[in-house]
Amino acid sequence: MNKNALCVMVKIPCIPKDSSLAGTIKTRLVPPLTNAEATGLYSAFLSDIFNTLACLKNVDIHIFFTPSGDGVDTSTLTKLVPSNAVLTPQKGTDLGERMKNAFSLLFSKRYARVAVIGSDSPDIPLKFIEKAFEELDLDQGSLILGPATDGGYYLIAMGRLHPAVFDGVKWSTPQVLSQTLERAKSAEIKVHLLKQWYDIDIPEDLEKLRNNKAAPCSAIFMEKISKNSKVD
């Protein structure tokens, strides 16, 4: 099999009925957003991302979601994602382990090239994802990274599993990219960097969504709540 797979790491966009678990979606945007607004905005993120991915050719879409386990309701997620996408619960104690397990599973399904993106960049350019697969066509043994402005990365892709790049990384810190590059260098893995892009993580990032034609669902949602002076 000489196929490509794109894994999208997502959270189920709902506020749990158990109030002790409320506020698990985009928590760094609360405040100025309310928990309900943050969840609604994240749902818009997913709509924008999957509308963009609908134009991606010759790539199977796999969605790895959290939370997982018995009794988890995925209905709010299935309404937002493509009907032909494969949904799989994330497994692992931290982000690195969850991504490593996702790569491992997809390679076990005999995909030749696998890319992983998050769900915090609703206007991610499709050409960045296409470029990642093009680079792997040229060098399947390389590691492809899309640097994020916050010091992490918005995309990681490889043609075979390189587990070393997930070990010893302090996730959700500005050191994620630099530490990943260090791990790759130590393991003698060739790295190709894509163009830099950004995630929507903190209140200052919300301005990037206003009138954003590349993320229309997110822009419309922001317009709906713009009368709230807290987010102006």
Task: Spell out the domains of the chain, with CATH numbers in brackets.
Answer: 4-226 (3.90.550.10)
Interior CA angle at 173 toward 97 and 7, to 5°? 40
Q: Measure the CA–CA gap between 98 and 91, rounded to whole angstroms.
A: 5
DSSP letter for 162, please.
-
Predicted pLDDT of residue 19: 47
Neighbours of 161 (CB within 10 A): 15
Band the pLDDT of 14: cuts 50, 70, 90.
confident
Tell whether the model's pLDDT for residue 55 goes beyond 90.
yes
Per-residue pLDDT tens digits for 162-198? 999 999 999 999 999 999 999 999 999 999 999 999 9
- Which pLDDT score, from 0 to 100, does residue 222 have? 96
The alpha-helical segments, DSSP class H, found in 54-166 are 75-78, 95-108, 126-138
| Confidence tier at 214 by pLDDT (50, 70, 90) | very high
> Binning pLDDT at 50, 70 and 90, where does residue 71 land?
confident
- Whole-number pLDDT of residue 155: 98
Q: What is the pLDDT of residue 103?
A: 98
Q: Which two tokens stand for residue 65?
A: 């979601």
C-alpha–C-alpha distance, residues 25 and 18, integer Å: 14
pLDDT of residue 68: 83
Name the pTM for this structure: 0.93
Q: For all residues of the chain together, what is the average pLDDT? A: 93
| Whether 190 contacts 144, CB under 8 Å | no
Q: Which two tokens stand for residue 19?
A: 């109030």
79: pLDDT strictly greater than 80: yes
Helix (H/G/I), strand (E/B), else coil: 214: coil
Please determine, for residue 2, whether its predicted confidence score (pLDDT) is greater than 70. Answer: no
